[in-house]
Structure formats: structure tokens, C-alpha cells
Amino acid sequence: MTMNKHKTSQTRTLHVRKRVALVAHDHKKDDLMDWAVYNRHVLSAHELLATGTTGLLLEKALDLPVRRLLSGPLGGDQQLGALIAEGEVDVLIFFWDPMEAQPHDPDIKALLRLGVVWNIPIACDRSTADFLLTSPLMHEAYEALLTDYTEYQQRLKKRIGKVK
């Protein structure tokens, strides 16, 4: 049996009205729009945010307000990552295209990594998004456990100190 180096000691409350980020690569935008329209009633109970073109398309398709960030390749993925790190995003729905290389793949990987670091629910396909939206936890407050990365931060500081 191995011990987990990281401890879970803090929590973050995901309130009843979740902040849901919606992102889709170009070849997945139609899939996301179909899914969002089908789930409009559930999505209308939450605050929506999206990157660039996806946000514009969602506003038109849903007739709901969407906080729009920059386009993904122009920094929207990084904006979204910063919002996740600041505790301003509760759920990430990201329909990404596994068959198409993206010019901003490192940003996408960083975005997904931040979602895991900050323990937010992430759906990368329609089935998972369906399961997530229909979970009873989506409609009530939830205490998400956060990993304590203090030891990691201390090791990083030591390494930086050696570089100077």
C-alpha cells in the first residue's frame, strides 16, 4: 500500500448555482451546441462562461447570458485556467477534438491540469457531460476537497533557491 504524499485538508464550496465553463474545439462546436440546447433548462440555473466563438454561439443558441472570454488560441484557455485557480469556475465542460492537433495544445493540457489540481468536475465528451449534469450534486451545494500542495511548494522554493 502506498501513501499519498499530498493531503486533503481544505475544501471549497461549489454553491447551488454553479459557474459552468463551456469550451469546444472547432470540430466539436456543433456537438456542444446540440448538447447545450438539449440541456438548456439545467444550464439556465447556472452561470455560464465560455471562450471566444463558443460563447457567442452559446448565447445565440440558448438565449442565455454567457460571460465570454478571449478565443482559446488567443489566450482564452489561459484566462479560463486563471479563473479555475482563483476559484471562479466550478465545472468545466470541454468538448475537445482528440483527432485534430491544435496549435494551442499546451494551453489545453494546462487547462485540464488546473481543473484536476483544483478538483473541479470535468467532462470532455457528451456522455460524461450528461452524467455530470444529471448528478444530484449538480443541483446542491458541494464541498470539494482540495489537495494540500504545501510540501510541493516548499520543494519548489528550495529548488529555486539553489538556482539563484
Quick check: 125 pLDDT over 60? yes
48: its cell numbers: 455560464
Residue 102 domain-assigned (yes or no):
yes
Average pLDDT over residues 125-143: 96
Cα–Cα distance measured from residue 19 to residue 47, given in angstroms and rounded to the nearest whole number: 5
In a domain, 2, yes or no: no
Q: Is the pLDDT of residue 16 over 50?
A: yes
Indicate whether 1 belongs to any domain.
Answer: no
Mean pLDDT, residues 127-138: 97
Domain range enclosing 136: 7-163
Please indicate, yes or no, if residue 128 is contained in any of the structural domains. yes
Task: With a cut of 90, say whether residue 21 has pLDDT above it.
Answer: yes
- Count of domains in the chain? 1
Residues involved in catalysis: 77
Name the grid cell of 147: 489537495
- pTM, two decimals, is 0.87
Domain-embedded: residue 92: yes
Q: Tell me the three cell numbers of residue 52.
A: 471566444
Amino acid found at 98: P
CB atoms within 10 A of CB 132: 17
Task: Tell me whether residue 20 is in a domain.
Answer: yes
What's the pLDDT at 148?
87
Least confident of 9-23, 62-76, 118-132, 145-159: 145-159
pLDDT value for 99: 76
8 A C-beta contact, residue 50 and residue 79: no
Angle, CA of 79, 93 and 10, to the nearest 5°: 70
What pLDDT was estimated at residue 100?
Answer: 75
CATH of the domain at 30: 3.40.50.1380
Of the pLDDT bands very low, low, confident and very high (cuts 50, 70, 90), residue 2 is: very low
pLDDT at 1 > cutoff 70: no
